[in-house]
Structure 1
Amino acid sequence: MLAILDYKAGNQTSVRRALEHLAIPCAITADAAILESARGIIFPGVGAAGQAMRALRAAGLDAVLRRAVAAGQPLLGICLGCQILLERSEENATPCLGVVPGICRRFEDDLRQEDGSRAPVPHMGWNSLRARASCRLLAGIEPAAEFYFVHSYYAQPDPAFVIATTRYGREFCSLYGRDGLWAAQFHPEKSGRPGLALLRNFYDYCLEARHAQ
């Protein structure tokens, strides 16, 4: 079973529906025991970094996530979950989980497209990924595939963790991590077939990781 972290930061239901479409067993939960016994954790989120971190700390879920990463339990951060795996966020000047070195930054107000036209913030819409490193999550997904983004801030992890980038006014990191710990700025659960394939790849990795223990 995959555990979808419930910390009152939105879009857990969308993730559950995507997993159910794939016939992947899952549960939305804030129960530490269920989270720790799951094959993997999906850490979604929408909203503001400061509010999200307050909710995580109040429920003790920040410690659960850090323990999961330290124990090698597979984890996938999505959107806000991707951002607050880093050390801090410029949004609300928020200290974050710090499980990956890096900072979450805000898009510039004068962001411009390549043709010189204004690039509105938040960035909302479909964009492709440019692979910078091989990644199990992208196996079988066409290089030109597009994913759905909604965000005003972007992750800037240590370059050693960058897996893929996307261009929207500037080049930014859209997927980062290492085996068993990944973070996507886009929403795979809202990205059609490519997003479903990424979620399936994550679950397959979780099954293999459990069998290898």
Structure 2
Amino acid sequence: MIGIIRYGAGNIFSLTAALERLGIKYGMVNSDADFEQFDRYIIPGVGHAGAAMNKLEHSGMVKKIKALQKPTLGICVGMQLLTSYSEEGDANLLNIFPIKTLRFADSAEYKVPHTGWNQVEQEMDNPLFKNIPTGSHFYFVHSYFIEFNKAYTLASTTYSTKFSASIWKDNFYAVQFHPEKSGKYGEQLLTNFSNI
């Protein structure tokens, strides 16, 4: 069963609605004591990475999250929290991935935030993307991106620059897009995660 880590920085309705549609069981992780009930976790998040990290620290769950050995998926700001640093709020983050979260440069051609459907190109094979063709479209809403690093990038996207749309290290997986809003391939990704 999936434990959704609740720390006050995510509207989780669309995520829980998607899990219910897919028949994937889930519950809420509100404190350290709740972790043992679940065999995998999702870290959601919307909005400001620095503020989200502050809320996560106040939740008292940082040490537990960093020590997780079970499959864990960060979504959107939940992905950014797994990196070492974000320019948003000049914030030090969980540092599970030694890479940074940077702001898109605004231009006439590329408006910020990056909003809408974009192609995701797979960079390596991984069960998270099983039965999802490379080049599939996913739904993005973000002003900050994860710097591309081949060592950790499962899939990439280009919007003014090439960046990591999905990263992986050990039991930690993350996606910048919103799988719960990305149609059949987003649902496939959530199903894949539930089976890792």
TM-score range, shorter chain: over 0.9
2:120 aligns with 129
CA distance in 2, matches of 1:102, 1:123: 20
CA distance in 2, matches of 1:145, 1:51: 31
After TM superposition, the structure 1 = structure 2 runs for residues 8-157 of structure 1, keeping only pairs within 5 Å, are 8-68=8-68, 72-110=69-107, 118-156=109-147
2:116 partner SS = strand
Question: When the two structures are superposed, what TM-score results if normalisation uses the length of structure 2?
Answer: 0.95
**1:180 shift after superposition:** 2.5
Q: Count residues in correspondence.
A: 196
Paired letter, 1:167: T
**1:36 shift after superposition:** 3.4
Task: Map Cα deviations across residues 62-114 of structure 1 (whole Å, 9 max, x no partner).
Answer: 1121121xxx211000000101101110111000001111100000122xxxx
Deviates most, 55-64 or 87-96: 55-64
CA distance in 1, matches of 2:99, 2:170: 18
Please list every run of at least 4 consecutive aligned residues from structure 1 whose deviation after the TM superposition is greater than 6 angstroms: none
Instruction: Please list every run of 5 or more consecutive structure 1 residues that lacks an aligned counterpart in the other structure.
Output: 111-116, 206-213
1:87 partner SS = strand
Deviates most, 95-104 or 10-19: 10-19
More helix per residue: 1
**Aligned 8 A contact 1:5 1:12 in 2:** no
Question: When the two structures are superposed, what TM-score results if normalisation uses the length of structure 1?
Answer: 0.88
**1:158 shift after superposition:** 4.2
Task: Map Cα deviations across residues 5-58 of structure 1 (whole Å, 9 max, x no partner).
Answer: 111112322111111111111013313222233110000100111111111111
More strand per residue: 2
Instruction: Please list every run of 5 or more consecutive structure 2 residues that lacks an aligned counterpart in the other structure.
Output: none
CA distance in 1, matches of 2:48, 2:35: 23
**Aligned 8 A contact 2:148 2:162 in 1:** no
CA distance in 1, matches of 2:124, 2:41: 23
Q: RMSD in angstroms over aligned alpha carbons?
A: 1.3
CA distance in 2, matches of 1:103, 1:157: 9
